[in-house]
Chains A and B, each alone.
Chain A
Amino acid sequence: GAVVSQHPSRVICKSGTSVKIECRSLDFQATTMFWYRQFPKQSLMLMATSNEGSKATYEQGVEKDKFLINHASLTLSTLTVTSAHPEDSSFYICSARGSPNQPQHFGDGTRLSIL
């Protein structure tokens, strides 16, 4: 089946640090990638949608200057949390999809802890 790899799986860092999370589709070309955030015991909340080669579309309430998304190739998207603060601590998950008629396949998520 389709495989999406997300790294790192866990990050612990000091407040003010910028953190980059990578999302790769290993066996298919992902024209669209999505970034989600999940708080404990809650559902996945979509943060942004990115199409290869174009700017990401952010959901309402998500700061684009805070969460920088790059989707430079058909197999890689990155999310950079800039100047992270404790309130940014969360579980971040990416997904990738080949075409709109195909299901999204998810990475294993990144647990981000800001001290």
Chain B
Amino acid sequence: DQQVKQNSPSLSVQEGRISILNCDYTNSMFDYFLWYKKYPAEGPTFLISISSIKDKNEDGRFTVFLNKSAKHLSLHIVPSQPGDSAVYFCAASRSGSARQLTFGSGTQLTVLP
């Protein structure tokens, strides 16, 4: 049973436009959420996180939104750049579990020049 789901395996966006990556979760015990970016043959790179006590966190071009009632989070990238092309994973954790991460299956973002 997948507790973290990224239903879109791929997304293409024009350079300069907004990229919106979505993630849904089923475990209501999750209270900390992260987004990672991964290039081929490399490990994931941490991008941004959000605690369940917030509904928005912003860092430069990246903003993460959390809707607890819908068990949904999204990552907005604006403006999108060709260098943003990568696989994006959302991950979730809960307290009392050594903060182990449960990952979604990833979304391949392609930003077209």
Contacts and interface: CB of A to CB of B under 8 A. Distances in A.
A binds B: yes
A24 interface: no
Nearest to A50: B98
Given A43-B104, A43-B105, A108-B41, A32 B49 contact: no
Contacts of B25: none
Contacts of A4: 43
B34 interface: yes
A101 B95 CA distance: 9
Interface stretch (A13-21, A60-68, A69-77, A92-100): A92-100
Which size bracket describes the interface of A in this complex? 20 to 34
Interface string A30-54: 0010100000001110100101000
Contacts of A43: 89, 103-106
A-B pairs with lowest CB-CB distance, top 7:
A106-B43, A100-B99, A43-B103, A103-B46, A43-B105, A108-B43, A106-B44
